[in-house]
Amino acid sequence: MKAKNNPAEKPICQNKTARLNYFIDETYEAGIVLQGTEVKALRDGRVNIKDSYADVLGGEVFLHDLHISPYSHGNRENHNPLRIRKLLLHKREIKRLYGKSQERGLSLIPLRMYFRNGKIKVEIGVGRGKKLYDKREDIRLKEDRRAIERGLRERNR
């Protein structure tokens, strides 16, 4: 996986609640099959990835509940905002994801969407759902880290 500061990557959207609600074990980069008006809407950043999930059906991976708003200058050829979209992965990655998705408690969650060299990519994470006490612990650690950084900044002034 490449660094997130890659100049050839332009972020479209990120699923901020994914890391709060899931322990992410592995990540995969996938291409996505889109229509023309969907690409134009993504260039405008009109997408909601928050409630979406991936599923393996018949040897192919599909992305469900990804909401891409209709393109503002589209006509009657505009796309359906909630249609199921196919993800493009290698066969061995699909087999591995199928095995992971069949395990109890594991889910396939899209983490972020971005442009890489003009192509739209989706980062898929294999995650295990967190319990409420795990979420509270993460929030507590994040607040402690912020307090320490704030104290260090004040001390250096």
Whether 13 shows a pLDDT value over 90: the answer reads no
Convert the pLDDT of each residue in 47-69 to its tens digit.
Answer: 889 889 899 988 899 999 988 88
Mean pLDDT of the chain: 86
**How many Cα atoms are found within 13 Å in the side-chain-facing hemisphere of 83?**
14
* Joined tokens for residue 128: 């295990």
Q: What is the pLDDT of residue 2?
A: 47
CATH number of 11-130: 2.40.50.140, 3.40.190.10, 2.60.40.10, 2.40.280.10?
Answer: 2.40.280.10
pTM: 0.78
Q: What is the mean pLDDT of residues 132-153?
A: 88
Domain residue ranges in the chain: 11-130
Instruction: Please tell me the least confidently modeled range out of 6-20, 21-35, 104-118.
Output: 6-20
Higher pLDDT, 7 or 36: 36
Q: What is the pLDDT of residue 114?
A: 92
